[in-house]
Structure 1
Amino acid sequence: MTPPTTLPVTCVEVVEARRITPRTARITFEAEALADSVGTAPDQQLKLCFPRPGQAVPELPAPAEDPMSWYRAYLAIPEPRRPLMRSFTLRHRRPGTRLIEVDFVLHEGAGPASAWALRAAPGQRLGMVGPSALYAPPVPFAAAAAAADWVLLAGDESALPAIATLVGALPREARALAFVEVADVRERQPLDGPPGLTVRWLHRDGAPEGVALTAALTAAELPPGRPYAWLAGEAGAVRALRRHLVTERGVAKEAVEFSGYWRHRLTQDDAPTAEDLADARELQERAAGRS
């Protein structure tokens, strides 16, 4: 099958905004246009585009056949008018509708996305880029999980929407272990998965992000057999966990899917670090080797 070449770009309008935990807002949007495939697979990534001060809606280029052409047109918008773009995971699509749900982590010292979510109200509009099969994993999660003896999932609250969709996609007979770091006990969320799913909730309780997650996983007694690991969250913690699994646990590099969603003291507007670039190169090389 020939992969799609057009990057989906549309507007979304807030239908509902509510707190599902003290630090997490779930925003329901209605999209002007939405492909039938959106919401049919776990861990679907999208980008939301936030208007600049004084704008009611963000200024975005029209969809283009070539995604890079669209992105160049986006960068060509003068910075004072160029929307701020942030990455999210689709939490849920309501069947038979163009309604989607996206979870926002409400940080202290809120960045543009968190600050917007704190004030989100019905009728407000954002731009949305994706989800797109252009950026789907070369090996779907279900296939990778089925090829392993058990599944390991680890991340902080930024990865919780993806983890929720991933455990929901596991077959009933699957064995899975999830390590989830959140601020405190009030930030736990229901995770519906197969009977063989074990969830270990880790509470920071004021400690720096990633410390509890890294300590718990490196000290854990893991199940026997060949795992498939999925890691996401703060980039430094993800690198430490991946290094531990590969070098100290003997897990094959190809059996570890990883993504640094955010970086301490840096935003998505800041330039990538040397480590970020190295991670991106490895992911590209792995994708090319699988195609």
Structure 2
Amino acid sequence: MTDVPVALIQVTDVRRITPHMVRVTFDGDGLDDFPTWPDQQLKLLFPRPGQPAPRLPGTGADGDAMRWYEAFLALPEDERPWMRSYTVRSYDAERHRISVDFVLHAAAATPQDDADAGPATRWAAHARVGDTLARYGPAAIYARPLPLDTADWLLLAGDETALPAIGSLVESLPEGARALAYIEVADAAEEQPFSTPADLTVHWVHRTGAAARCDALLSAVRDASFPPGTPFAWLAGEAGAVRALRRHLVEERGLAKSRIDFTGYWRRKLTQDDAPTDEDLAEAQEKIAAAQAYTQ
């Protein structure tokens, strides 16, 4: 039986850290004894219009995660919360609070933008102290530390959706670790500072327009001069771009698949509510194979 890590959380602070990213801090049940690790994933549940808080399944799951999820899916669709995956950017152990960074993809600049945005972006663009969400997770079983003892250096590459995870990863690196990061953002205003004792070099990749989204990152990594030695690569962002980056590292750079951790955070023209594509399913199988190789 697997415990169900579900709890309501309340907004305690909202801060715009760049023009298109907002940092929201939460407190709530279970955050006084909160497991932490870099690149810590959890799911957030967003209320439907008119709901003061997300509707959650009632009691009866008996602490079992699968039964809870079945009960969640059994909720009427127009009442069932939207569920989206996010990274815990930081944890305040003294105040028992977590912070999550939200990318505002179409951040309510106009009513039309607000209507076109997804539920998480709409919520984050208007978040206020006292607002309530729910969290599912995190679960320590999914924690995967970077293999610093077997890598000469680290390559981190992603778009702005990967920024919270990259930030938590580089800030956890010890003195003496070497890391090279390529991060694609809209422009210089979206860059963020990192504090780390490691030897970190960050290359900010600016897009030249909407049509160039995700292509600029692949071009930058292809053109990069890598340090000597064997790296470990961490890739995240738009699923197609992540697949292209992984193919480049394997086929053109000769990096073993077991030396790459990769995650597609989002898909062009699709949401997490849409069914997985054939490429998504193939990626999932590759991730399973990579995880097995990683643990051997």
- The two structures have a TM-score, normalised by structure 1, of 0.93
Q: Distance in 2 between the 1:73 and 1:223 partners? A: 50
Structure 1 residue runs without a partner (length 5+): none
Is contact 2:19–2:189 with CA below 8 Å preserved after alignment?
yes
Structure 2 residue runs without a partner (length 5+): 107-115
Aligned to 2:284: 280
Q: Distance in 2 between the 1:64 and 1:236 partners? A: 39
Instruction: Output the amino acid matched with 1:132.
Output: A
CA positional deviation for 1:37: 4.1
Aligned to 1:191: 194
CA positional deviation for 1:195: 4.5
Q: 1:96 to 1:251 in 2, by over 3 A?
A: same
Aligned to 2:102: 104
Q: Distance in 2 between the 1:21 and 1:124 partners? A: 21
CA positional deviation for 1:6: 1.3
Q: Distance in 1 between the 2:70 and 2:220 partners? A: 42
CA positional deviation for 1:64: 5.0
2:272 aligned with 1:265:
no
SS of residue in 1 equivalent to 2:39: coil
The equivalences for 1:51-130 within 5 A come to 51-61=47-57, 62=59, 65-108=63-106, 109-130=116-137
Instruction: Output the amino acid matched with 1:259.
Output: T
Residue of structure 2 aligned with 1:31, choices 28, 38, 45: 28
- Runs of 4+ residues over 4 Å off in structure 1: none
Q: Distance in 2 between the 1:7 and 1:213 partners? A: 38
Q: 1:216 to 1:288 in 2, by over 3 A?
A: closer
231-240 or 26-35, which deviates more? 26-35
Q: Distance in 1 between the 2:122 and 2:285 partners? A: 32
Aligned to 1:165: 168
56-65 or 6-15, which deviates more? 56-65
Q: Percent identity?
A: 56
Instruction: Output the amino acid matched with 1:17.
Output: V
Q: 1:209 to 1:7 in 2, by over 3 A?
A: farther
2:45 aligned with 1:49:
yes
Aligned to 2:112: none
Residue of structure 2 aligned with 1:227, choices 231, 254, 257: 231
2:6 aligned with 1:9:
yes
SS of residue in 1 equivalent to 2:161: helix
Instruction: Output the amino acid matched with 1:46.
Output: L
Aligned to 1:131: 138
CA positional deviation for 1:7: 2.9
SS of residue in 1 equivalent to 2:183: strand
Q: Distance in 2 between the 1:212 and 1:273 partners? A: 24
- The two structures have a TM-score, normalised by structure 2, of 0.91
CA positional deviation for 1:176: 0.6
CA positional deviation for 1:36: 2.6
Aligned to 1:206: 209
Is contact 2:237–2:263 with CA below 8 Å preserved after alignment?
yes
Instruction: Output the amino acid matched with 1:129.
Output: Y
CA positional deviation for 1:5: 2.5
Q: Distance in 1 between the 2:183 and 2:249 partners? A: 17
Instruction: Output the amino acid matched with 2:82.
Output: L
Aligned to 1:145: 148
Q: Distance in 2 between the 1:281 and 1:122 partners? A: 41
Q: How many residues align?
A: 283
Instruction: Output the amino acid matched with 1:101.
Output: S
CA positional deviation for 1:134: 2.9
Q: Distance in 1 between the 2:136 and 2:26 partners? A: 14
